[in-house]
Amino acid sequence: MRIYKVLFFVLCLFLLTAAGKKADKQKIYHKGWIDFNKNGEKDIFEDPSKGIDARVADLLSQMTMEEKTCQMVTLYGYSRILKDELPTPEWKHRAWKDGIANIDEHLNSIAFRPKTENAYSFPYHKHAEAINTIQKWFIEETRLGIPADFTNEGTHGLCHDRATPLPAPIGIGSTWNKELVRKAGEIIGREAKALGYTNVYAPILDVARDQRWGRILECFSEDPFLIGELGTQMTLGIQSQGVASTLKHYAVYSIPKGAREGNARTDPHVAPREMHQLHLYPFKKVIEEASPLGVMSSYNDYDGVPITGSHYFLTELLREKFGFEGYVVSDSDAVKFLSTKHHVAEDYKEAVRQVVEAGLNVRTNFKTPESYLEPLRELIQEGNISMKTIDSRVADVLSVKFKLGLFDQPYVENPSFSDQLVHTAKYEAFAKQITKESLVLLKNENKLLPLDISNLKNVLVTGPLADETRYTYSRYGPSKNPAVSILQGIKNYAGEKLNVEYAKGCDVIDADWPGSEIIPTPLTQDEQSGIEAAVQKAKESDVIIAVLGEDEKRVGESRSRTSLGLPGRQFQLIQALYATGKPVVLVLVNGHPLTINWENKFVPAILEAWFPGPSVGDAIAETLFGDYNPGGKLSVTFPKTDGQIPLNFPCKPGSQASQPGEGPNGYGNTRVLGPLYPFGYGLTYTTFEYSDLKVSPRQANAMSDIHVSFKISNTGERDGDEVVQLYLKDEVSSVTTYESQLRGFERVKLLAGETKTVNFILHPDDLALLDKDMNWTVEPGTFKVMIGSSSEYIHLTEEFVILNH
């Protein structure tokens, strides 16, 4: 009996102790502040009335070496490194018992990756509650209670189960709509905040200069000005919601040699002036104008020095020149590559030393935090990295956490309200609108489009992408949203009025692809039968809608191409359809600019859709049948052949010039000239007229603003959008500059018959060049203003002069 009394006493003591601990944890929450270090006092870092610098310094002074280094590493979320959805007792025995810099992609669910699916990604309030639970563990169960930063991808919309989906960035870039991109950023940020994420890895500011590169669809454009303008708006939109925007991928990442990546991921061939004027320009602009709180360092080198191990890139340029005041995370494997790929470090430990000294704040990789912390702590203990350096790196991370309000309101305030904030009906309508605005009409011979439904009876929808939707999802965007294929969208729109037939025709690729691009092989019997079946139905149709291009397995990270033609048997399919004599509308779904020369010559109508969002079917149907008038413009150049690459805008004088066939140096023509479709190109169902260009003042000093205005009129019978573009040419300069540079654009909506005045202001930075000494300066001389509807279709020109100082 006595033993039972003893056990009962012990049990009561345990319960009282546990209750006491729980009660003590609740005591850390006070009105207006939280006692993170649980000492019963309001320390400076816990006082919201104190300045951020003072709060950071106070917190740093209380941190151990272990706690500091934990703020220098990422913990990857569920199914990657974390095996637990919520905290477990084992967490007390892992590295993050002393805190963590950030937790990436936790409980978000990723498209077509079943291992990432979990019980907390949806409904949305469950995720907010789960993040609160994890944040509570860090605040209550670690000694100093430093909150974690919860990061997530966001380039196609927030990378979360059923968040609002956006088109691929190359489609977003094709909208040329700053207001729309700002709104997209706001939606991404608002949904992130509602779900518990505090940091979004977006936008991508890479300059897409090689059309073969696999990630070109994740870039806004090939032009740094367009990227800078849209990137600024998206960053401002994201951060307006109280979450951080982390820019990708810094720097010179998007132009590996021959567009090769995968095991290459290195060796960009870019001259220093070109690097600054093209590849660094968007980062500089966005940092100066939008103050992003994050930057992701890339895993390539530049001129033999890995970016992530470069003091010049991570400290001198990024912080001292551009004024960046956030924290830098590494792209996955960027640290490891210093030893395994670039071979500038003898082992991983030396790689860690180099990146920390260079300016890297946080190692982000699909490895355990311990794999980074152990060599980092050894380096500190050996005296090979000073605590002064560590304090500087940690201070940047803590500063961002204070700026995000994580020390003042670390939790999602009302998780139950999250269900009303994420992917609302209003946001779904927005997603459809931005998908529509991303569409680019490339050809419309004899006004075949829009299709007149009253004059049609039978329509054939064909092609390997007609009844497909997987391309609407992205590794870096939302998952599980219901998608409407182009076939289904056309049936939804016209099914009761038209007989809509379907034949696949062929697969996206053939069995020998990509080898069949260089050694053609005959069609198999099944391939021939598939094309013949489509042709038979085509003969019985009034119009053919062929949906061709690339699927998600042909485009993306580590998926650069050697050829840019339609893959597989799609070229044979479109030729056979055209041979029926029936009108053909080609709808392109693709991530690379394709060399569709034959198609452009013979197919009467071509609509570029890129990789659109899940509402693609309805958006395409409404466009083909005239409910929507496409107005997007190409943000990248379409070459005629791979052999022309590099072929981009902007370009240096003569670098893309014609070939003399006659004269002193004329020895005949040996190459194809010019782009298939130039930068900024796109048609609509209406017509526009430009007039009354005014430039003021016509003479000015170097620091003056130049005001430009002109009129744009819709001279057609349909309402429509025109993307007006301002190009600038420096007539004579001390160093070679570009033939022209984009320095202004606006997407203008005009009713039929309506005229509007468009105003631009050219600031001194718009006129600046890098002089012989690599200093940004505005030189005296004549500048030509060119107003056009693309880089090659210029309608109005005028000049102004910058005077000598």
Q: What's the token pair of residue 601?
A: 């010559």
Alpha-carbon gap, residue 601 to 175, rounded angstroms = 25
Tell me the three state secondary structure of residue 266.
coil
Alpha-carbon gap, residue 281 to 90, rounded angstroms = 46
> What's the count of helices (H) and strands (E) in the chain, helices before strands?
21, 27
Q: What's the token pair of residue 282?
A: 């968007």
State how far the alpha carbon of 725 is from the alpha carbons of 662, 747, 759, in Å.
35, 9, 11
Q: What's the token pair of residue 466?
A: 């007609």
- 271 in Cβ contact with 303 (< 8 Å): no
State how far the alpha carbon of 732 is from the alpha carbons of 271, 426, 621, 769, 782, in Å.
21, 51, 49, 12, 7
Catalytically active residues are 331
Alpha-carbon gap, residue 802 to 782, rounded angstroms = 6
**Which residue in this structure is represented by tokens 């355990």?**
368
- 533 in Cβ contact with 539 (< 8 Å): no
Tell me the three state secondary structure of residue 29.
strand
State how far the alpha carbon of 148 is from the alpha carbons of 96, 133, 137, 704, in Å.
10, 12, 10, 46
Q: Give every strand in the sheet of 74-76, ordered side by side.
A: 74-76, 102-104, 149-153, 199-201, 244-250, 294-297, 327-330
Alpha-carbon gap, residue 156 to 203, rounded angstroms = 9
- 320 in Cβ contact with 312 (< 8 Å): no
Alpha-carbon gap, residue 211 to 206, rounded angstroms = 13
Residue 549 exposure: Cα atoms within 13 Å on the Cβ side: 28
State how far the alpha carbon of 741 is from the alpha carbons of 251, 334, 633, 648, in Å.
21, 33, 16, 12
Total residues belonging to the chain: 805
**Which residue in this structure is represented by tokens 């509602």?**
194
State how far the alpha carbon of 546 is from the alpha carbons of 117, 487, 497, 534, 578, in Å.
35, 10, 20, 10, 10
- 52 in Cβ contact with 401 (< 8 Å): no
Alpha-carbon gap, residue 450 to 340, rounded angstroms = 55
Alpha-carbon gap, residue 532 to 537, rounded angstroms = 9
Closest CA to 338 of 374, 368, 365: 365
- 175 in Cβ contact with 181 (< 8 Å): yes
φ, ψ for residue 70 (rounded to 5)?
-65, -20
Q: What single DSSP character describes residue 720?
A: E
Q: What's the token pair of residue 163?
A: 């968040």
Residue 559 exposure: Cα atoms within 13 Å on the Cβ side: 16
Alpha-carbon gap, residue 607 to 632, rounded angstroms = 10
- 175 in Cβ contact with 635 (< 8 Å): no
Residues contacting 788, CB < 8 A, separation 6+: 680, 725, 727, 794, 795, 796
